[in-house]
């Protein structure tokens, strides 16, 4: 959604912009092309491989600063203290992470069952599945993966690990397929929702998103733009509610006095945007992408 993101950010030549999910830098490169000598581009990512790639891509460009970490902590990075004219968050797992079997994100490629965006932090998926109880596993699959067969899958995981440790993505995908009946449409792999749920849990993605949105609002300058690309309903629901809660007064209660204290901090720029057919044809992953854009308002005391 390159064109829509660039339109949404409305990049100013002398502005300061943060890409909180660098990935492989497609959007970041586009922002930098529109910046003048006085502009600044701040780059963040949890993934050390993405940070290495950013360093190679922008080596020697004094307008660029790079920081390894979660966008949830963007307000703690001193480079953001002066305020930002735009922030981009491209959520979820990146294509390079999916494409490398050793990262353990893909049920279609056999690799270590890891799933960590930051491989140096927290438990791997294999470690969590080896220790979590059946109820916790079922709750994660249901809450984050919206998997209707969550209890059946959790039961199968606990039974299997008593016989053999689950350490490979292919092992887990095959186990799930053995207990989840395929529907009439075979275009969705039975492991899709479970892998999504485990990945979101392992990386604390929804908690990071909520913290990152609050941090973004705190660091945006008046007139600054926030652009967020989400890839499933759980993410998009959080983004939509966040923008709405800061753009519109909560519904009134006719039994109570009217609350006149609400002061909007954001303005939604259009509604949900989706990728154009040309993009989805060349990049099937873009089919589920939703972009939302908001602008920070000047708060008058």
Q: CA-to-CA distance for 206 and 11, rounded, in angstroms?
A: 28
Q: CA-to-CA distance for 240 and 245, rounded, in angstroms?
A: 9
- What confidence tens digit (pLDDT) does each residue in 248-283 have? 987 766 666 666 788 999 999 999 999 888 888 887
Rounded to two decimals, the pTM is 0.90
pLDDT at position 46 is 93
If phi over 0 gives left and psi between -120 and 50 gives alpha, with beta otherwise, what is residue 270? left
Cβ neighbours, 10 Å, residue 192: 17
pLDDT at position 23 is 86
Whether residue 186 has pLDDT greater than 60? no
Picking from 232, 234, 242, the residue whose alpha carbon sits closest to that of residue 212 is 242
Confidence of residue 185 (pLDDT cuts 50, 70, 90): low
CB 191 within 8 A of CB 173: yes
Token couple for 237 = 């629901």
pLDDT at position 204 is 95
pLDDT at position 198 is 96
Picking from 278, 220, 224, 205, the residue whose alpha carbon sits closest to that of residue 1 is 278
Residue numbers belonging to the annotated binding site: 25-27, 45, 71, 90, 97
pLDDT at position 55 is 95
Whether residue 178 has pLDDT greater than 80? yes
Going along the chain from its start, the domains and CATH numbers come out as: 2-95+205-296 (3.40.50.150), 101-203 (1.10.150.170)
Residue numbers belonging to the annotated binding site for S-adenosyl-L-methionine: 25-27, 45, 71, 90, 97
Q: CA-to-CA distance for 291 and 120, rounded, in angstroms?
A: 30
Picking from 274, 216, 235, the residue whose alpha carbon sits closest to that of residue 3 is 274
Token couple for 2 = 């390159």
179 burial level (CB within 10 Å; 0-12, 13-18, 19+)? middle
Q: From residue 202, how far is each of 20, 116, 173, 191 by CA, in Å?
A: 19, 7, 17, 16
Q: CA-to-CA distance for 73 and 211, rounded, in angstroms?
A: 8
């Amino acid at each position: 959604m390159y064109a829509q993101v660039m339109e949404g950010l409305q990049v100013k030549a002398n502005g300061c912009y943060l890409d909180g999910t660098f990935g492989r830098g497609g959007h970041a490169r586009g922002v930098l092309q529109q910046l003048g000598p006085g502009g600044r581009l701040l780059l963040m990512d949890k993934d050390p491989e993405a940070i290495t790639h950013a360093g190679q891509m922008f080596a020697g460009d004094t307008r660029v600063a790079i920081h390894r970490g979660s966008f949830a902590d963007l307000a703690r990075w001193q480079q953001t203290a002066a305020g930002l004219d735009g922030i981009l968050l491209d959520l979820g797992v990146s294509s390079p992470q999916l494409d490398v079997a050793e990262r353990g994100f893909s049920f279609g490629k056999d690799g270590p069952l890891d799933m960590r965006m930051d491989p140096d932090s927290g438990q791997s998926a294999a470690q969590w599945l080896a220790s979590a109880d059946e109820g916790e596993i079922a709750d994660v699959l249901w809450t984050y993966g919206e998997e209707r067969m969550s209890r059946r899958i959790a039961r199968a995981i606990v039974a299997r690990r008593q016989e053999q440790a689950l350490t490979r993505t292919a092992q887990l995908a095959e186990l799930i397929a053995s207990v989840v009946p395929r529907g009439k449409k075979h275009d969705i792999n039975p492991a899709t929702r479970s892998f999504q749920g485990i990945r979101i849990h392992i990386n604390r993605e929804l908690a990071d998103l909520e913290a990152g949105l609050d941090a973004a609002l705190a660091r945006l300058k008046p007139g600054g733009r926030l652009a967020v690309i989400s890839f499933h309903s759980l993410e998009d629901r959080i983004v939509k509610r966040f923008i709405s809660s800061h753009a519109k007064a909560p519904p009134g209660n006719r039994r109570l006095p009217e609350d006149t204290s609400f002061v909007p901090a954001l303005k939604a720029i259009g509604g949900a945007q989706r990728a154009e057919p040309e993009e989805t044809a060349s990049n099937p992953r873009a089919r589920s992408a939703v972009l939302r854009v908001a602008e920070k308002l000047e708060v008058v005391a």
